[in-house]
Amino acid sequence: MVKAIAAADLPRLRSTRDTRDRVDLITPDIFGLRDIKADRITSHPGDTAAAHYHRDSKHFFFVLDGSGTLHADENVIELAAGDVALIEENEVH
């Protein structure tokens, strides 16, 4: 069975620390899935995210446009449009 959600109906969260915009794409509430989650985060110049990790969950970054710096454990990685990065379970980023 196909399930489609209009973009206007997807949950949008606004960061209280910076100007990042987040749209939840796959959550248990939207599609009923618990084994995969996805969101789209738009970062603007100067935006940062607090160091955190995900228990028992990998985290992919797909850079659609622009560039940025990813800090993961002791690594500092420069990413640009078209790049993909994988953060392992429990890895601080």
CA within 13 Å, CB half, 31: 18
Global pTM value: 0.76
- CA–CA gap between residue 63 and residue 51 (Å, rounded): 19
**Per-residue pLDDT in tens (0 to 9) along the chain, 93 residues:** 788 888 888 888 776 777 888 888 888 888 888 778 788 888 888 888 889 888 877 888 899 999 999 999 889 999 999 999 988 889 999
Q: Which residues contact 25 (CB under 8 A, 6 or more apart)?
A: 10, 38, 39, 40
Q: For 7, list phi and psi in degrees, rounded to 5.
A: -55, -40
